[in-house]
Amino acid sequence: MIKLTDFLIACKVPLNLLSYKVHLATGSDWLPLDAFYDGKFKEWQENQNGKNFSRDMVVGLIHVEGSRGLFAGVYRVLGFNPQEGKRVRYSTELLAGQDDLIGRVIVEHKRSGRAAYLIGKPDGGPFHVCEIRPQPMTIQDFPGYQEVCVSYAKLKIIIEQNLDTWRGALSNMKGVYIITDLKTGRLYVGSATGSDGLWQRWGSYVKTGHGGNKDLKRVLKDKGPRYVEHFQYSLLEVADSRTSDEYVLERESFWKEVLASRKFGYNAN
């Protein structure tokens, strides 16, 4: 496998081999891969919890699986501004000549520790290109009703970008869904019975965060609107558009009982 630095130089990306860092991007709230899908990785990377980019350039790699990272570009560090506490807001610019590489190049790297900001070596170090995808990585097509499990950030991208396979699948179905608060483990069970089914219902969560539910309104009022970033959305069961609303509501009540979401979760009734 070719080293990442050799590959970039061969592609005429003007990486400064004497002054760069490799950023192994991970996260727990706003995930870097979600930011990338939304076209906001640069913004995501510029917000740091310290002065992590003490070199002229930064190579962004987004963790995707195992020891593999998605190439997200080489950025020139222009400066930074202190923020609250130890946080820092960097100013960076994406180097020219990378449009055909970003989102397509997969890099292999076996981490020897937990460090996420590695000083780049002139010889390229242990980073090797292991795959070049035919197209930039995007949110996958609708995976099937039994496989739906998305973060708020990913759901927002799906709805706002009007992704065809997701819209086609969700707008044709009524159903019962579950929202999980990944911070506390508390659950909210809801149902979709409107004309555009689950697509319409989940679209209302993207728009407002709470979808008009008084229980979730209270949560976001108490914890702030950005708390919605801790929510995860999944399907419990689906029914076609001919199914009566009464039946769907009965199934919603059943799942509330099974999961005890009235007693331990966010359901009030």
The predicted-structure confidence for 84-95, as pLDDT tens digits, reads as follows: 888 999 999 999
User: Using one digit for the tens of pLDDT, what is the confidence trace for 22-65?
Assistant: 999 987 667 899 889 888 999 999 999 999 999 999 999 999 88
Asked if 103 and 45 sit in the same domain, the reply is yes
Asked if 81 and 39 sit in the same domain, the reply is yes
Domain closes at, from 132, 161, 196:
132
Q: Do the domain assignments include residue 171?
A: yes
Asked if 196 and 220 sit in the same domain, the reply is yes
Asked if 166 and 114 sit in the same domain, the reply is no
Asked if 128 and 33 sit in the same domain, the reply is yes
pTM recorded for the entire structure? 0.74
Q: What's the whole-number mean pLDDT along residues 260-264?
A: 96
User: Which residue segment(s) compose the domain that 201 sits in?
Assistant: 145-259
Asked if 84 and 188 sit in the same domain, the reply is no
Domain closes at, from 78, 105, 132:
132
* Among the ranges given (27-31, 59-63, 75-79, 184-188), the one the predictor scored with the smallest mean pLDDT: 27-31
Question: In sequence order, what DSSP letters do the residues of 57-78 get, joined into one string?
Answer: EEEEEEEEETTEEEEEEEEEEE
Asked if 124 and 10 sit in the same domain, the reply is yes
pLDDT of residue 114: 81
Q: Do the domain assignments include residue 267?
A: no
Q: What's the whole-number mean pLDDT along residues 2-25?
A: 97
Q: Do the domain assignments include residue 24?
A: yes
Asked if 171 and 108 sit in the same domain, the reply is no
pLDDT of residue 29: 65
Q: Do the domain assignments include residue 204?
A: yes
Q: Do the domain assignments include residue 177?
A: yes
* Among the ranges given (20-29, 97-106, 162-171, 217-226), the one the predictor scored with the smallest mean pLDDT: 20-29
CA–CA distances in Å: residue 123 to residues 18, 20, 59, 61 = 10, 12, 15, 18
Q: Do the domain assignments include residue 269?
A: no
Residue whose tokens read 């350039």: 57
Query: 113 pLDDT band (50/70/90 cuts)?
Result: confident
CA distance 236 to 189: 9
Asked if 81 and 19 sit in the same domain, the reply is yes
Asked if 81 and 197 sit in the same domain, the reply is no
Asked if 101 and 214 sit in the same domain, the reply is no
* Among the ranges given (37-41, 166-170, 175-179, 248-252), the one the predictor scored with the smallest mean pLDDT: 37-41
Domain closes at, from 132, 161, 176:
132
CATH value at residue 211? 3.40.1440.10
For the chain, the average pLDDT equals: 94
Q: Do the domain assignments include residue 137?
A: no
Alpha helices (H) in the chain, listed in sequence order: 4-10, 32-37, 41-46, 152-160, 164-171, 197-208, 214-223, 245-259
Query: 131 pLDDT band (50/70/90 cuts)?
Result: very high
Domain count, the chain: 2
Query: 112 pLDDT band (50/70/90 cuts)?
Result: confident
pLDDT of residue 27: 77
Q: Do the domain assignments include residue 253?
A: yes
Residue pair 10/101 in contact by the 8 Å Cβ criterion: no
Asked if 150 and 125 sit in the same domain, the reply is no
pLDDT of residue 195: 86
- Whether residue 237 has pLDDT greater than 90: yes
- Whether residue 215 has pLDDT greater than 90: no
Residue pair 115/139 in contact by the 8 Å Cβ criterion: no
